[in-house]
Amino acid sequence: MKKPDILRLIRLNFFKLLGAMTGLAVAILFLTLGFWRTILILVLVAGGAAAGAWLDRGQKLMDVVDRFFPGSATEQDDDEIKF
């Protein structure tokens, strides 16, 4: 096969290949680290990807934090201490 044929084959089956590589990576993690450690890694990666997606949409980091933790320290007055 020539290089253009291989590139065309990859373009036609990109998501199949991506899914297979992801499945292989998760299987290797399960076998080497165990179930719970692998789940922790997957959750942290998904959270990081979600935060990155929000930031890519032009939101500032503090806007994302305020969305999850309303009434955070950014909204309080500096003179007033609340417990």
Please write the tens of the pLDDT for every residue from 10-24: 899 999 998 999 999
DSSP string, 47-71: HHHHHHHHHHTT--HHHHHHHHSTT
Residues 40, 63 within the same domain: yes
* Full domain range(s) for residue 12: 1-33
What pTM was estimated for this model as a whole?
0.56
Residues 41, 64 within the same domain: yes
Examine residue 78 and state whether it is found in any structural domain, yes or no. Answer: no
User: Is it the case that residue 27 has pLDDT exceeding 70?
Assistant: yes
What SS3 state is found at 43?
helix
> What is the number of domains present in the chain?
2
Residues 42, 64 within the same domain: yes
Examine residue 79 and state whether it is found in any structural domain, yes or no. Answer: no
Cα(24)–Cα(35) distance, integer angstroms: 15
Examine residue 81 and state whether it is found in any structural domain, yes or no. Answer: no
- Per-residue pLDDT of 32-44, as tens digits, reads 999 999 999 999 9
Examine residue 7 and state whether it is found in any structural domain, yes or no. Answer: yes
